[in-house]
Amino acid sequence: QEQLVESGGGVVQPGRSLRLSCVASDFTFNYGIHWVRQAPGKGLEWVAFISDDGATQHFADSVKGRFTISRDNSKDTVYLQMSGVSPADTAMYFCARYVVGVKGGYYFDLWGQGTLVTVSS
Amino acid sequence: FMLTQPHSVSESPGKTVTISCTRSSDSIGDSFVQWYQQRPGSAPTAIIYEDNQRASGVPGRFSASIDRSSNSASLTISPLQTEDEADYYCQSYDGTSWVFGGGTKLAVL
């Protein structure tokens, strides 16, 4: 069964760093991958994107300069490196697969269950 | 740009409900609109992509469209079932950033 599994979340102090992982299983890992977060009781917020070959990356303004994204296709894994975190980064972090639709557009067709990041002193 | 959704809607089982998603700038037709369903405690799942295409396994009760005159997209569920109670998010993009609407909580009373 195709799935994405996130890990690496936990409690982290403000200003510190954390690395999240998103591991794919049961499908060929040649897709773009996004990170999307959801603060407690709030809506979805797009965070970052990496293309299938890692050459293209985009970030939300709220994390630009603090977060980086990378991937190791030999391990079917995408990473989100979070630095200089603040309480505003407290959220469930989901990774999602980006696939092409029938008209040539793209959408998030497969989501992981998320990993919770809590920024607190 | 922003995507604006009603905070909540409610309707009875068997009825029809429509959730709107209004784009704040540029045209709704400039990029495809997607819709995601999120049940409590679960990850989102795709229900509609490319404005009106149902994702795999999504029943025909779900449909969607865009309206250029109102610069909005809409998701329609008919007939409603109790299992449709969830949060619904529209989503689009501008080439380098992806935008979600604020979400609509659907209550099936």
Contacts of A102 in chain B (CB under 8 A): 50, 53
Q: What mean pLDDT is reported for chain A? A: 96
Give the chain B residue whose CA is nearest to the CA of A107: B49
CB-based burial label for A112 (10 Å; 0-12, 13-18, 19+):
buried
pLDDT tens digits for range A72-115: 999 999 999 999 999 999 999 999 999 999 998 999 999 999 99
Distance CA B43, CA B51 (A): 21
| Mutation target vs A (from B28, B49, B104, B105; most A CBs, 10 A cutoff) | B49
pLDDT tens digits for range A46-56: 999 999 999 99
Q: B62 in contact with A at a CB cutoff of 8 Å?
A: no
Distance CA A110, CA A32 (A): 11
List, edge to edge, every strand of the sheet that includes B62-67. B3-4, B17-23, B72-77, B62-67
Give every residue of chain B whose pLDDT is below 70, as ranges: none
pLDDT of residue B87: 98
CB interface of A with B, residues 76-95, below 8 Å: 94
Give the chain B residue whose CA is nearest to the CA of A112: B43
Residue B76 corresponds to which tokens in the numbers above? 């329609």
Give the chain A residue whose CA is nearest to the CA of B50: A105
